[in-house]
């Protein structure tokens, strides 16, 4: 499976002998590895997950961490928790329950895109999850958007802090490292769509990105599984002419590419060409928006899919390619961080179960 996805890549080094071949069955985990903070949440209790789900989780590779974008959806009643809860309640008390779900070993913290989080906020998140849980965190738009936008999302003016190295460290990487510690998974710089003037000067933007990435503190001493990742929303980054330069910058900085499954970007199979140039290395993938809604269909998807309790637009072709990619990457001893939005198919927890069912037989 690895050959047909990654072509003639060099054989990666063998994984460390200490790494387990499979994730232990949830029932076999020591008590302290579970999320004791559930007892503090009081009002939110886990759903009665079936034995088949636990058995499925035990068959997945230990280096795979799957999860959703946030954990605040009342429509996940019966899938993650029992009873009716408001978004506010779930925002405050839902994470410890989420982290007990057999398949959920990561989550994407998206709120950090809109406003930088503090060390204490990151510490609170870290205190609510098991020791082997890892977070995917989005960098604030303060440093990843070339435009300053109004409340309607429209660009108003150029952003002077775009890709500012010092701000990226101060407002994102340093507090995330200090607060999450070893539970840092992928720190994602999602670059918003560039204005045409910036797209016409993409080499200069890339050089600025290079400077910013190289200025960040190393993650490994604090977070051995941590990786900086760059997600883009303009296909020009992946053009045959520009992709080699993009890959070279990522490799120089010890960063990776975040595969963004979004209507603005090429299909997964085409984005894997960039991963070939970065191999061997981890997989970071964010499944954001089903292409049936178009490049600007986020609000349409939100209206159609709410309350996010069922699959409305299944995407079996994405599951097939992504499952084989996960199996190839983890089978070669590399980590995989995969997060799914409700806007991918309609219900992120159900999408993840389907994906897990595709991955498990490939082990």
**Region of poorest pLDDT, from 128-137, 147-156, 168-177:** 147-156
pLDDT of residue 294: 83
Residue 11 binned pLDDT confidence (cut-offs 50, 70, 90) = very low
Taking 90 as the threshold, does the pLDDT of residue 18 lie above it? Answer: no
Instruction: For 207-246, write each residue's pLDDT tens digit.
Output: 999 999 999 999 999 999 999 999 999 999 999 999 999 9
Query: How would DSSP label each residue in 121-143?
Result: HHHHHHHTS-TT-EEEEEPPHHH
Q: For the chain, report the end-to-end CA distance as a whole number of angstroms.
A: 11
Instruction: For 83-137, write each residue's pLDDT tens digit.
Output: 999 999 999 999 999 999 999 999 999 999 999 999 999 999 999 999 999 999 9
Q: Which domains does the chain have, with CATH numbers?
A: 2-13+34-362 (3.20.20.410)
**Where do the H-state alpha helices sit in the chain?**
2-6, 38-41, 51-58, 87-93, 95-98, 119-127, 141-144, 165-168, 174-180, 196-199, 202-214, 243-252, 268-278, 298-305, 316-331, 342-345, 348-359
Calculate mean pLDDT across residues 250-256: 98
Instruction: For 302-317, write each residue's pLDDT tens digit.
Output: 999 999 999 999 999 9
């Amino acid at each position: 499976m690895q050959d047909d996805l990654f072509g003639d890549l060099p054989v990666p080094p063998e994984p460390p002998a200490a790494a387990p071949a499979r994730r232990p069955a949830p029932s076999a985990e020591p008590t302290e590895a579970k999320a004791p903070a559930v007892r503090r949440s009081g009002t939110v209790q886990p759903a009665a997950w079936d034995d088949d789900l636990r058995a499925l989780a035990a068959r997945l590779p230990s280096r795979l961490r799957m999860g959703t974008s946030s954990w605040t959806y009342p429509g996940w009643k019966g899938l993650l928790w029992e009873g009716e809860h408001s978004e506010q309640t779930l925002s405050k008390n839902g994470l410890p329950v989420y982290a007990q779900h057999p398949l959920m070993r990561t989550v994407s913290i998206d709120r950090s895109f809109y406003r930088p989080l503090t060390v204490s906020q990151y510490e609170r998140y870290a205190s609510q999850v098991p020791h082997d849980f890892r977070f995917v965190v989005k960098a604030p738009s303060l440093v990843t958007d070339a435009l300053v936008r109004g409340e309607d999302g429209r660009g108003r003016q150029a952003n002077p802090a775009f890709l500012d190295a010092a701000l990226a460290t101060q407002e994102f990487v340093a507090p995330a490292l200090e607060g999450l510690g070893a539970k840092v998974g992928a720190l994602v710089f999602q670059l918003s769509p560039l204005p045409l003037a910036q797209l016409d000067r993409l080499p200069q933007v890339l050089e600025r990105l290079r400077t910013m990435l190289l200025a960040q503190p190393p993650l490994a001493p604090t977070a051995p599984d941590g990786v900086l990742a760059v997600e883009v929303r303009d296909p020009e980054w992946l053009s045959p002419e520009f992709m080699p330069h993009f890959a070279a910058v990522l490799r120089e900085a010890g960063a990776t590419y975040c595969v963004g499954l979004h209507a603005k970007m090429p299909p997964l199979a085409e984005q894997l060409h960039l991963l070939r140039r970065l191999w061997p290395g981890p997989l970071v993938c964010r499944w954001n928006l089903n292409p049936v809604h178009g490049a600007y269909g986020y609000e349409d998807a939100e209206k159609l899919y709410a309350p996010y309790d069922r699959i409305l637009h299944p995407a079996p072709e994405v599951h097939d390619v992504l499952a084989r990619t996960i199996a190839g990457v983890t089978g070669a001893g590399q980590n995989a961080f995969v997060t799914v939005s409700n806007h991918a198919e309609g219900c992120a927890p159900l999408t993840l179960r389907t994906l897990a069912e595709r991955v498990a037989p490939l082990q």
